[in-house]
Amino acid sequence: MKEVPEFIKWRDKKVLIPSEKIIAAAVNEIPKGTTISQAELRARLALGHCADMTCPVTTARLIKQLGNAIPLERLILSKTLSEALRKQGVLDG
């Protein structure tokens, strides 16, 4: 079952409020060996969910939360955040 995203209206804009699953899936889609900024990630999420923008505060908080869920030794041994999240069982695949 696909998760239904949450939206709010702010200054006449449709704002995506991403969940942890939405952020984790977006991180998983980043090709191995590449990086993107949080602004680019938010833009991709907004476009993919037919929103005008993605909440920057929620996005930053969830990225930090996902990163903190990974034991330091596993993060050091992993080449990418998505690889570490997969090893931790946060991401599928």
Q: How far is CA 55 from CA 41, 70, 76, in A?
A: 11, 24, 29
> 56: domain range?
6-88
Domain membership of residue 93 (yes or no) is no
> Can you tell me the mean pLDDT for 20-39?
84
Q: Quick check: is 44 in a domain?
A: yes
Tokens of 82: 């998505």
pTM: 0.66
Mean local confidence (pLDDT), 24-53? 87
58-81 pLDDT per residue, tens: 999 988 887 766 555 555 555 566
> Looking at the 3D structure of the chain, how many domains does it have?
1
Is 61 part of a structural domain of the chain?
A: yes
The DSSP call for residue 69 is: T
In a domain, 1, yes or no: no
